[in-house]
Structure 1
């Protein structure tokens, strides 16, 4: 979900209720702060995902690295289940207000990765750039494996 859509939903909630709760107000402040960046980078998404997880209470109890990896894996498994249920690769559908489908589950995977990297202090964008630079130097179908 892009920032404009999040802001739109928060505005709808505020119009409907006449107020925003503390977490919604914090999210609106975070959006305003991060919109001041000129480029919407991976680092920006990492900061946004991690702050949202903090705001939603996901760090009130400590998590192990294994738990964080398992949660990432679970999102990929949910994407596979969508495929097994004959959902299209670009299909997004809704259960109430909740978006579902392969693109959403893949997005959830990226969000979990961004959150974890934010929590652990990993500069994901720098790591991706470094790995992509290295990958560009590798031979065609390096490793000789079928998959």
Structure 2
């Protein structure tokens, strides 16, 4: 990546704060559920017949109708598809690590963490099965507070591996989604969580 993990953590967290996501206290359970939701959105794209590396961009036309494009011409066009959802998993992990001050720890663990047997995505496994492994690593974040940065590093590693298996440019997907997120309104126009 052109930016370090710690730089991405700081950037994602600063944007989330600017957009009002940390104006009110959040529980770790709420944070975890939001990350799980991104994993589930990747599964929904798969279930809807989208190929893992398929990307498209959406915007509303003058009549408020969503229009789909194959290329992103403007940063406020929403990146869509499994690459975008994988990016969202990482961005949410980066944000929470920024909140807890774990940026440097996450960066260090991303370079050296070794997942336990059965906790690592496999190239020959079905896409949905690999997403379930990512869910499992997120669940492990609740077991021990001191191990949360380690488990988040495993999540990021697994997302990177899954992207690599399917020829997804995760770095580009993260950059596009983070740029898009800066164009979004405060709390995405009124979401509570």
Residue 71 of structure 1 corresponds to 34
Residue 15 of structure 1 corresponds to none
Number of equivalences: 101
- The question of 1:115 aligning with 2:95 is answered yes
Give 2:85's match in structure 1, choosing from 105, 108, 112. Answer: 105
Matches within 5 A, 1:20-59: 40-59=3-22
Rg larger for? 1
Question: Is there any run of 5+ residues in structure 2 with no aligned partner, and where?
Answer: 60-76, 119-124, 130-193
Q: Which has the higher contact order (CA 8 A, sep 6+)?
A: 2
Moved beyond 3 Å, runs of 4+: none
3-state SS in 2 of match to 1:99: strand
Residue 178 of structure 2 corresponds to none
Instruction: Measure the CA separation in 1 of the matches of 2:101 and 2:28.
Output: 13
3-state SS in 1 of match to 2:113: helix
Instruction: Measure the CA separation in 1 of the matches of 2:41 and 2:110.
Output: 24
Give 1:91's match in structure 2, choosing from 34, 54, 66. Answer: 54
- What RMSD over aligned residues (CA atoms) do the two structures have, in Å? 2.2
Report the Cα offset of residue 74 of structure 1: 0.2
CA distances 1:9-60 after superposition (whole Å, capped 9, x unpaired): xxxxxxxxxxxxxxxxxxxxxxxxxxxxxx6211111110000001111001
Instruction: Measure the CA separation in 2 of the matches of 1:62 and 1:127.
Output: 27
Instruction: Measure the CA separation in 2 of the matches of 1:81 and 1:60.
Output: 30
Report the Cα offset of residue 121 of structure 1: 1.2
Could you state the TM-score of these two structures normalised by the residue count of structure 1? 0.63
Question: Is there any run of 5+ residues in structure 1 with no aligned partner, and where?
Answer: 3-38
Instruction: Measure the CA separation in 2 of the matches of 1:129 and 1:108.
Output: 20
